[in-house]
Amino acid sequence: MMPLKNITEDLFVQIIDALQQLSPAHYTNKSSLLSGASIGQHVRHIIELFQELHKGYETGAVNYEKRQRNYNIEQNKDIAIQAMHLIIDEMGKGNKDLQLISEYDGEEDSNVAVATNYFREIIYNIEHTVHHMALIRVGLQEVSHIVLPATFGVAASTTKYRRLCAQ
């Protein structure tokens, strides 16, 4: 579990470092490059999937579509930063079988349930976070001159591949 917690923490530290350099107005700015979404909305989305996984650990079922939308997270970067710290603090659990619930047409009677486990869902959330970090990078470039690490929003496999190509 420690490697997954460490990977998540490393990603969150990158996001937190960027947010601490960002003005509140830029955090909530609706970006034309992000189809009208804000950096805050992308950060909220990342956080809420991890929060839903934490709830699912307790109940045995994860349904990302049923997550609570906390709009304070997308409006206030300090609340987002606190939420990321809390997620890291909560990540010390052992692996556990879970059910992943999806409602592709929005109707509860047509739910799809598949077997998964906590560690697998953390990996999904890590990959999901990297994807949204790539979008956040685009949004940051539109509103600020923050210098980001070269790996911000880049999948680990891409980073490894680039290193191999450079040799």
% of residues, the chain, pLDDT over 70:
96
Confidence band (pLDDT; 50, 70, 90) for 1?
A: low
Domain contains 105: no
Q: Is residue 14 part of a domain?
A: yes
| Structure confidence at residue 4 (pLDDT) | 95
Does some domain include residue 80?
Answer: yes
Stated pTM of the model: 0.91
Q: Which CATH number belongs to the domain containing residue 78 in this structure?
A: 1.20.120
pLDDT of residue 105 exceeding 80, the answer is no
Quote the domain boundaries for residue 42: 2-93+121-166
Residue 155 lies in a domain: yes
Contact between residue 151 and residue 41 where contact means Cβ atoms under 8 Å apart: no
The total number of structural domains that make up the chain: 1
